[in-house]
A = this chain, B = another copy of it.
Amino acid sequence: MVNKDGPTPLYLQVKESILERVEQHNLRPHDRVPSERELSQEFGISRMTARQALSEMVREGWLYVSMGKGTYVAERKLDQGLETLTGFTDDMRRRGLTASSRILQAAIIPCSLRLAEVLKIQPESAIVILERLRLADQVPLALETAHIPHHLCPGLLQYDLTTSSLYEIFRTKYGFRLGKAKETLEATMANDRERELLGLAGPGPVLLIERVTCLEDGPVIEYVKSAYRGDRYKFHTVLQHGS
């Protein structure tokens, strides 16, 4: 059942084994998984090793624990995807809306000092700057400015960016796989330009979102700053307790 002499740690082998049962639906949400003592007998390992496999899976959201009762398979589908990285197009699709864009600026420019630090490239390197008014069902919702290192995606501006998702182009045209993104969100007042483009009658709040996105293998692919109309947009996320 497990290989005690191989290079793979025992607890990882146990983890993989349970993960398989979950993914192949031999174990379904809210089914009980074998107890720590059962696993240690089944695999011929100590209870602490079985425990390490289970508690890692609990931490990662695959399983949950009910004190004195047992460990169970977690519900995945409900919240899955809310903490995942999506662009404007997918975000709107999830809300049942159709995304489109009006391009305000699309150019290749030298990169400022501050931006070079964020994108982890040399100052003055060429970057693609792409400013778009993002519409949901034809109504202005956000003003979005993306900064992308030009050497990572030469020829980006030849594609139709009014209807296509930028992330879709990254994936299909350049073969990029997105990794992690860091976001910050804050509430501010709309400035004049935002007010005009978003169609606000008077002063109003906007949700300012900054995102730094990395590819799976490390390099920063974009820095995006967006201003969402406060009265029309809510940001959703799911947090998992870390212990």
Interface size on A, residues (CB 8 A): 54
Encoded as 1 (CB less than 8 Å from any B CB) or 0, chain A from 143 to 185 comes to 0000000000000000000000000000000010111111111
The answer to whether A188 touches B187, judged by C-beta atoms less than 8 angstroms apart, is yes
| A230-B186, A230-B188 known; A239+B78 contact, CB < 8 A | no
Judge whether A237 is part of the interface by a CB distance below 8 angstroms. yes
Q: How far, in whole Å, are A182 and B242 apart by their CA atoms in the complex?
A: 15
The answer to whether B66 touches A217, judged by C-beta atoms less than 8 angstroms apart, is yes
Judge whether A216 is part of the interface by a CB distance below 8 angstroms. yes
Which residues of B are found within 8 Å of A236, using beta-carbon distances? Answer: 182-184
Q: How far, in whole Å, are A205 and B190 apart by their CA atoms in the complex?
A: 10
User: Which of B182, B230, B233 makes the CB contact (< 8 A) with A82?
Assistant: B182
Judge whether A137 is part of the interface by a CB distance below 8 angstroms. no
Encoded as 1 (CB less than 8 Å from any B CB) or 0, chain A from 67 to 89 comes to 10000000000111111111000
Q: How far, in whole Å, are A239 and B67 apart by their CA atoms in the complex?
A: 30
Which residues of B are found within 8 Å of A60, using beta-carbon distances? Answer: 242-243
Judge whether A201 is part of the interface by a CB distance below 8 angstroms. no
User: Which of B84, B203, B207, B216 makes the CB contact (< 8 A) with A186?
Assistant: B207
Judge whether A64 is part of the interface by a CB distance below 8 angstroms. yes
Judge whether A119 is part of the interface by a CB distance below 8 angstroms. no
Q: How far, in whole Å, are A179 and B65 apart by their CA atoms in the complex?
A: 10
User: Which of B61, B67, B80, B217 makes the CB contact (< 8 A) with A64?
Assistant: B217
User: Which of B80, B204, B216, B241 makes the CB contact (< 8 A) with A178?
Assistant: B241
User: Which of B79, B187, B216, B243 makes the CB contact (< 8 A) with A205?
Assistant: B187
Which residues of B are found within 8 Å of A206, using beta-carbon distances? Answer: 187, 205
In the complex, the chain B residue whose C-beta lies closest to that of A78 is B182
A-B complex: 6 closest residue pairs judged by Cβ atoms? A84-B242, A187-B230, A187-B187, A178-B241, A85-B239, A187-B205
Starting from the known contacts A60-B242, A187-B208, 5 additional A-B residue pairs (CB-CB under 8 Å) come to: A64-B217, A79-B182, A183-B237, A186-B207, A187-B205
